[in-house]
Amino acid sequence: MNYWKERSWGLVLCFLIGILSHLLGKSFPIIGGAVFAILLGMIVGPYFSTREKFQPGIKYTSKKILQYAVILLGFGLNLSVVLETGKQSLPIILSTITVALLTAYALHKWWKIPATISTLIGVGSSICGGSAIAATAPVIDAKDEEVAQAISVIFFFNVLAALLFPSLGSMVGFSTTSGEAFGIFAGTAVNDTSSVTATAATWDSLYHLGTQTLDKAVIVKLTRTLAIIPITLGLAFLKSRKETGTKVSIKHAFPTFILFFILASLITTIATGAGVDEAAFVPLKDLSKFFIIMAMAAIGLNTNLIRLIKKGGRPILMGMFCWLAITIVTIFLQKWIGLI
């Protein structure tokens, strides 16, 4: 009882900020609830985060609730559907993930950007934005300020993508009679789900394609999400080996919450294969999104806005180069295989 009592103040604060951020995210989907949560958390942080009674709950939300969010995220993945319909885009996805991670690593070495923030930006850019950052942060022991910075960088280029990509698609020559090619483009070159949705829906609206582009983009986005599993396991193994300096067993390095994420995905896959309606898992997916928003509120509460801005220059440039690399590779590969 005391365990929860000492955390209640911080949990309630994060919950209230989460509710407000969720509503704002619904009204402004191109921004999303997670970004609003970080911003609101940073604004009210000086009034609450320094008070001792709030800290246990804030810390619990930024660490444990974030892990629970990743576990619940697995219920949104029907592996058989994702692999079947996403296999066409798989070579493009693997290529863009590789290029983005290599770009982040090269800039980390060249500009001496700290390894943790470089990893978060690289993973967030290449895989699926906030969800990938949420999954990676506990594995590499990222500080709240580093998570906030990575989310902010990813958000900035998500908004640019949503605003610019429909016009870019017309210039490049994407088909306006089918949503397939631009759907793959939106699903691989845009990170966060809300921005992928906004970009694809804009293309559908411009060329009267119904939901062709949106349907394709969402499947591609879900396929990218699967990369969370090998990336987090690899990072956990490298971190564990670096700390011990010796060979590490898979059991020792395996993040438990990623195991539950995989199990959740398998439950959804098996259940839907047995005839269960996918709508049964929608409440769990929605809860996952809200938990991420709550965790981002906690991270915002522990983030110094002034220090974040001062440190933001090179990480923003890293995010820009990762974003450009992904965009160029996606367009090149689609032209090469004849989708454009």
The 3-state secondary structure of 196-228 reads HHHHHHHHHHHHCCCCHHHHHHHHHHHHHHCCH
- The structural domain count of the chain equals 1
Which has more pLDDT, 255 or 292? 292
- What sign does the dihedral 118-122-123-124 (CA atoms) show? positive
**126-156, pLDDT tens digit by residue?**
887 888 888 898 888 888 889 888 988 888 8
pLDDT of 199 over the 80 cut: yes
Q: Which ranges of the chain would DSSP assign to H, the alpha helix?
A: 2-5, 8-27, 33-48, 55-60, 66-73, 79-86, 90-111, 115-123, 130-139, 144-172, 180-189, 193-207, 212-225, 228-244, 250-253, 256-273, 282-301, 305-310, 313-336
Q: Which pLDDT score, from 0 to 100, does residue 16 have?
A: 95
**34-52, pLDDT tens digit by residue?**
888 888 998 888 887 667 7
Closest CA to 117 of 146, 153, 151: 146
Indicate the burial class of 210 (C-beta count within 10 angstroms; 0-12, 13-18, 19 or more).
exposed
Q: Which pLDDT score, from 0 to 100, does residue 101 have?
A: 94
Q: Note the Cα 55 to chain centre separation in Å.
A: 25
Averaged pLDDT score across all residues of the chain:
85
Which residues, including other chains, have CB under 8 Å from residue 101's CB and lie 6 or more apart?
Answer: 122, 123, 126
pLDDT of 305 over the 80 cut: no
pTM attached to this predicted model: 0.82
Q: Using CA atoms, how far apart are residues 201 and 33, in angstroms rounded to an integer?
A: 19
Q: Enter the tokens of residue 285.
A: 């997916």
> By the 8 A CB rule, do 69 and 258 touch?
no
DSSP single-letter state for residue 302: T
Please report, rounded to a whole number, the percentage of residues in the chain having pLDDT higher than 90. Answer: 26
User: What residues make up the domain containing 45?
Assistant: 2-336
- Orientation of helix 115-123 relative to helix 130-139, angle to 10°: 140
> By the 8 A CB rule, do 331 and 185 touch?
yes
CA-based angle 240:241:244, to the nearest 5? 85
